[in-house]
Amino acid sequence: DFLILFFCLPVVIFNEITKKRLLGDVSCRIVPFVEVSSLGVTTFSLCALGIDRFHAATSPAASARPIERCQSIIAKLAVIWVGSMTLSVPEILLWQLAQDTSPVSGVVTEYCTMKPSSDLPESIYSLVLTYQNARMWWYFGCYFCLPILFTISCQLVTRRVSGTEKPERRGAKPSQCERHLNCTIIGLAIIYGLCTTPENVCNIVVAYMSPDISKQTLDLLNLINQFFLFFKCSVTPVLLLCLCRPLGQAFMDCCCCCCEGCGLDAASSDGSADSKLKTEMSSSIFFDKPRESPPLLALGTPC
């Protein structure tokens, strides 16, 4: 999300104002690559979080769930990011910079066009051309239907399994943290679906009505779709901080700490204990850790 907002957004705004492409052909290839990679990361992250919530709801007991190791979490993140970037590689070979002269003002404008370069090897050129022909339905199936349907399915299956549990477990109601996590995943999926729906609808309409649509209309639709993506990238972190209270509290503590100059040597032992507790809460946002209360000590005499 931050890559989209701090790299892609300035390039798009600069292009719309000056009609010149910032960084030239490089931005024509990198911006679509980053945008599609962002959609892939969101898609696979929603799927991973849905599976995590299902395992949390169907495990025997909170104290019996092992703490997930850092290596396992890093491996999952690596699979999500490397997989998303690998699936987005054809975008680099698909786009290129083009120029056009305006018939009204006579000004030469630069724009990005979806056309594979003829300088590519024959085998790669055929693969990129196949990707271009199937891009609309691949985009719709992988980056829209998959995360929405997967999230809905995981939530329904989780509720189904939780409703058919044994009577001794049925009395244990889900904790407030569990409900917050489920609401967070549902909220992220809703925002993602609302912001990507216009682009998928436009892609399908343009694919079947492109001869009847002018270039100006196509550019306007593309710009609207990009700003929906920018809106999603700006709303998602705010929604995550608002719904995940431990994460939001940790973020506010970090902001206050930076403003007050926490680097100074003014922390007491009580403050360090509170920060340690908040760190443990924030580190268990999406991963369930067993919380066992210490045994009570017998104080006094038998009398």
Range among 93-97, 209-213, 263-267 with highest mean pLDDT value: 93-97
49-63 average pLDDT score: 72
Task: Tell me how crowded residue 60 is: count the other CB atoms within 10 A of its CB.
Answer: 8
Domain 1-59+68-162+175-258 has CATH 2.40.30.130: no
Q: Is the pLDDT confidence value at 38 over 60? A: yes
Range among 156-160, 175-179, 188-192 with highest mean pLDDT value: 188-192
Residue 291 phi, psi dihedral angles, 5° rounding: -120, 105
Q: What does the alpha-carbon distance between residue 108 and residue 146 come to, in Å, rounded to a whole number?
A: 41
Q: What does the alpha-carbon distance between residue 35 and residue 288 come to, in Å, rounded to a whole number?
A: 32
251-260 average pLDDT score: 74
Q: Please check whether residue 50 is in contact with residue 185, taking contact to mean a CB–CB distance below 8 angstroms.
A: yes
What is residue 85's predicted lDDT score, i.e. its pLDDT?
A: 93
pTM of the model: 0.74
With cut-offs at 50, 70 and 90, classify the pLDDT of residue 18: confident
**127-148 tens-digit pLDDT:** 888 888 888 888 898 899 899 9
The residue among 181, 197, 95, 67 whose CA lies nearest residue 139 is 197
What is residue 106's predicted lDDT score, i.e. its pLDDT?
A: 67
The residue among 203, 208, 206 whose CA lies nearest residue 228 is 203
Q: What is the DSSP string of 173-223?
A: PPPHHHHHHHHHHHHHHHHHHHHHHHHHHHHHHHHHHGGGS-HHHHHHHHH
Range among 169-173, 213-217, 291-295 with highest mean pLDDT value: 213-217
Q: Please check whether residue 83 is in contact with residue 45, taking contact to mean a CB–CB distance below 8 angstroms.
A: no
Range among 100-114, 142-156, 169-183 with highest mean pLDDT value: 142-156
Residue 151 phi, psi dihedral angles, 5° rounding: -65, -45
pLDDT, mean over the chain: 76
Of the listed ranges 45-59, 62-76, 212-226, the one predicted with least confidence: 62-76
